[in-house]
Amino acid sequence: MIMKTDGFWKKILITCLILVGIDITVGLVADSVLDIMPDYGGQLAKDNYRLHRLETDVVIIGSSRGCHHYVTQQLGDSLDAYFGHHTSVYNAAIAAKIANSNSCAAEAIIARYRPKLVVFDIGEDLLCLDDVSDIEFSAPFYWKDTIVRRYLDDIGFRERLFMKSSLYRYNGKLFNLASCFLAPAAVDDGYEPKFGTNIDTTVVKDKPKVTVPTSELDSYTLNNFETALKKYSSEKVTLVVVCSPHFRPNNNNKRLAAICEKYDIPFLDFYDMPYFNSQPELFYDSRHLNDKGAHIYTAMFFEQLKRFM
């Protein structure tokens, strides 16, 4: 190999060393900010809270459908009346955090304390997605949390390697980190209401019901979900898997029901409820109930929940 080096390797080494220095510095600063992050104010704060600090009697986990569908205050009041004493409830569902992130949260919760009840809002469609971006969102907690670390390491070699870089762990998250300190205090214990409706009722009423073909369940997502169920089953902590109403259901939850049955976990399927999918005014969009729909659904859900308490 003929080469006019001009100190080539030395220069590459210096560049790498500066990069490592920046990586370590960013990691140290961002990690220390993470430690003093408030419990509310954006998704990263909520994720941190549910993974590391949450200790309520009842916890709801799920994606956007979870955080828009369960009215925490209403559910808490119903539980108070039912039990005759105060029952704390927190809606720990986060928008766009789908199956893997929620399986991880479910495991983190049970590893830290024993809640009276955990509600896991999920649909079978989410078990088919091979999307790991939701669990990658928890990357800042990689070194802090062994469960998060296991989830991220299990994605594959690339992720295991990249997670060693602080810059990569905080990729796209500095804004989330900063916004935690700027956001107003959270109200209503995690419930995030949606108001009004975006559904054009004149159009949807004429639309025929469609059924999309069932996809394969994603092995990584399925494995994480089953691990979480197995833990709740063996620890004897009550976990209820729920699929909340959808305005235009286009599939079913047969495989999800079978998985829950396998681990003796109760499954409540509200996915295709004529009461809801005949009333577009209860929905913000085809996947999410609005505040009015959420109140009706929470009451209906509570009636069904009594069976497991």
User: Residues interacting with another protein, by CB under 8 A?
Assistant: 1-6, 8, 11, 14-15, 18-19, 22-23, 26, 133, 158, 165, 167-168, 170-172, 174-176, 179, 198
Q: Which is nearer to another protein, 139 or 265 (CB)?
A: 139
Q: Which is nearer to another protein, 165 or 223 (CB)?
A: 165
What's the closest the beta carbon of residue 282 comes to another protein, in angstroms? 19
Neighbours of 3 (CB within 10 A): 7
Longest dimension (CA), the chain: 84
Contact 240, 260 (CB under 8 A): no
C-alpha distances out from residue 58 to 12, 208, 299, Å = 54, 39, 16
What's the closest the beta carbon of residue 22 comes to another protein, in angstroms? 5
What's the closest the beta carbon of residue 186 comes to another protein, in angstroms? 17
Three-state secondary-structure class, residue 218: coil
Sequence-ordered strand ranges (E) for 78-165: 89-91, 117-121
Q: Which is nearer to another protein, 70 or 283 (CB)?
A: 283
Q: Which is nearer to another protein, 23 or 80 (CB)?
A: 23
Contact 104, 296 (CB under 8 A): no
Q: Which is nearer to another protein, 111 or 183 (CB)?
A: 183
Scan for tokens 């220095």, then name that residue: 21
Amino acid letter, 116: K
Phi and psi (nearest 5°) for 33?
Answer: -70, -35
What's the closest the beta carbon of residue 18 comes to another protein, in angstroms? 4
Radius of gyration of the chain, Cα coordinates, nearest whole angstrom: 22
Non-local (6+) Cβ contacts of 273 within 8 A are 245
Q: Which is nearer to another protein, 88 or 179 (CB)?
A: 179
Contact 271, 253 (CB under 8 A): yes
Non-local (6+) Cβ contacts of 60 within 8 A are 66, 70, 72, 75, 89, 90, 91, 92, 93, 118, 119, 121, 190
Q: Which is nearer to another protein, 12 or 258 (CB)?
A: 12
What's the closest the beta carbon of residue 279 comes to another protein, in angstroms? 21
What's the closest the beta carbon of residue 23 comes to another protein, in angstroms? 7
What's the closest the beta carbon of residue 2 comes to another protein, in angstroms? 4
